[in-house]
């Protein structure tokens, strides 16, 4: 009985660890690039940051939810088969235990995986272009990474702006 309890506890902890991580939005930061955009020419402009406001950015968390659900189902199936085998040693009991454990583990993994959307720190940057026109760009990041003054804006596409953090040690080391 002690072995079964340890198996269930290990399965629950692993599911929680795999699924408890919400998407932190790192892939949406202005200073994060995908393999497709590396070594690509991108237009760069100098802008004048006028104001920096804190914001929250909603990022999809679907991948983490799916990982937690699969991990929960697998671990639940293993735990269920172990429970079904305890004191019974029949193949049918192991199969039924595995199926029931997999179903329950999948539901637990889905619950632990969090919402389909997670929220991360962001900034709303108000900036002025060299032609005098003012715009705003909302990005993943922290206000301490930016300061008023000159900054570099990369434009991978005409409607996309990536204002690079211009206060590299503003948040501390």
Domain ranges, ordered by start, for the chain: 1-29+62-114, 31-60+121-173
Structure tokens at 60: 């999809």
What pLDDT digit, counting tens, does each position of 59-90 carry? 876 655 455 555 555 666 666 556 656 666 66
- Rounded Cα distance between 170 and 172, Å, is 6
Residue with tokens 């991990």: 71
pLDDT digits (tens, 9 = 90+) for 136-172: 999 999 999 999 999 999 988 788 889 999 998 888 8
Tell the burial category of 28 from Cβ atoms under 10 Å away from its Cβ (0-12, 13-18, 19+). Answer: middle
Q: Which helix (H) or strand (E) holds 118?
A: strand 117-128
pLDDT at 54 over 60: yes
pTM above 0.85, yes or no: no
**What spatial distance separates the first Cα and last Cα of the chain, rounded to whole Å?**
49
Distance CA 136, CA 129 (A): 11
Reported CATH class of domain 31-60+121-173: mainly beta
């Amino acid at each position: 009985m002690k072995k079964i309890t340890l198996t269930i506890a290990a399965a629950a902890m692993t599911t929680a660890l795999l699924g408890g991580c919400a998407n932190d939005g790192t892939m949406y930061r202005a200073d994060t690039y995908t393999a497709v955009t590396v070594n690509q020419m991108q237009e760069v402009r100098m802008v004048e940051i006028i104001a920096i406001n804190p914001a929250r950015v909603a990022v999809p968390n679907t991948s983490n939810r799916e990982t937690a659900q699969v991990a929960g189902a697998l671990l639940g199936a293993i735990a269920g088969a172990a429970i079904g085998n305890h004191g019974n040693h029949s193949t049918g009991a192991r199969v039924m235990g595995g199926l029931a454990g997999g179903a329950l583990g999948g539901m637990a993994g889905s619950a632990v995986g969090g919402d389909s959307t997670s929220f991360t720190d962001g900034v709303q940057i108000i900036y002025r272009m060299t032609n005098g026109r003012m715009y705003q760009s909302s990005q993943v990041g922290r206000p301490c990474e930016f300061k008023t003054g000159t900054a570099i804006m990369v434009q991978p596409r005409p409607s996309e702006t990536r204002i690079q953090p211009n206060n590299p040690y503003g948040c501390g080391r």
